[in-house]
């Protein structure tokens, strides 16, 4: 029986690459996105059958609960959860608006907490399960102009390590993946040629590079509470 994998933010960027790879590996994939049309389009492009699309704003508790109840009712129990939903509103702290701060906190941090809580209702009763949260290298090192974004991603590290301790005895593994500069919509405004000079490997990563690392963490039966950095050596230069 194939595993059911829920990918939050699975319609584009890193999430879409993760959805494709998991589908290729035989998982049934539930793609979650705030935009239902985007979710459906992403599912239509996946290899294999029986994948499903859901519209869900992970920052809203009732939507998360309703969506995971629907997943449980129509698809079965969740084996894998990948939290790739996230937003970015770069600004110096003195120019950051409170509403933007709250939007970042609610989507990037609270959203991850809500989806993990919802998925664990299934996972704690299974033989094994795994969660991978997508953070960022700036959550580990910080970056000027990204104070609030960095704080949300740093919060994910503490959350992931703590949750891993809470559920390890039930054979549920929880890890964090911290990407560097990856070629997605979120980095579309950067000058790739100029920015890549700060990366020892000399290039941006591809979403597929991150997806392979996600798969590694999902399938590694004795790794939990860890942070895996996928940044082409950027952390060495920061």
- Catalytically annotated residues: 149
Distance CA 79, CA 73 (A): 15
130: left (phi over 0), alpha (psi -120 to 50) or beta: beta
Kindly state the tokens that stand for 153: 């991603």
Q: Three-state DSSP class for 78?
A: coil
Number of CB atoms found within 10 A of residue 32's CB: 32
Determine the distance from the C-alpha atom of residue 154 to the mean position of all C-alpha atoms in its chain, rounded to a whole number: 14
| Positive/negative CA dihedral, 78, 3, 24, 216 | positive
The three-point CA angle 115-135-90 to 5° equals 110
């Amino acid at each position: 029986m194939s595993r059911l994998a829920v990918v939050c933010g699975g319609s584009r960027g890193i999430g879409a690459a993760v959805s494709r790879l998991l589908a290729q590996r035989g998982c049934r994939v539930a793609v979650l996105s705030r935009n239902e049309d985007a979710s459906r389009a992403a599912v239509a492009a996946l290899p294999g059958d029986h994948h499903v699309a859901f519209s869900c704003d992970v920052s809203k508790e009732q939507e998360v609960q309703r969506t995971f109840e629907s997943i449980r009712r129509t698809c079965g129990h969740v084996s894998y959860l990948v939290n790739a939903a996230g937003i970015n509103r770069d600004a110096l702290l003195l120019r950051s608006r409170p509403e933007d701060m709250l939007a970042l906190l609610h989507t990037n941090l609270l959203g991850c907490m809500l989806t993990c809580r919802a998925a664990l209702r299934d996972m704690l009763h299974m033989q094994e399960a795994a969660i991978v949260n997508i953070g960022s290298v700036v959550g580990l090192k910080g970056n000027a102009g990204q104070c609030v974004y960095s704080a949300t991603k740093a919060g994910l590290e503490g959350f992931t390590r703590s949750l891993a301790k809470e559920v390890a005895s039930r054979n549920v593994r929880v890890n964090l993946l911290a990407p560097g500069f990856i070629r997605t919509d979120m980095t579309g405004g950067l000058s790739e040629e100029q920015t890549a000079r700060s990366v020892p490997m000399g290039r941006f990563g591809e979403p597929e590079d991150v997806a392979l690392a996600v798969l590694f963490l999902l399938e590694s039966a004795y790794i939990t509470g860890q942070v895996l950095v996928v940044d082409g050596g950027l952390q060495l230069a920061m």
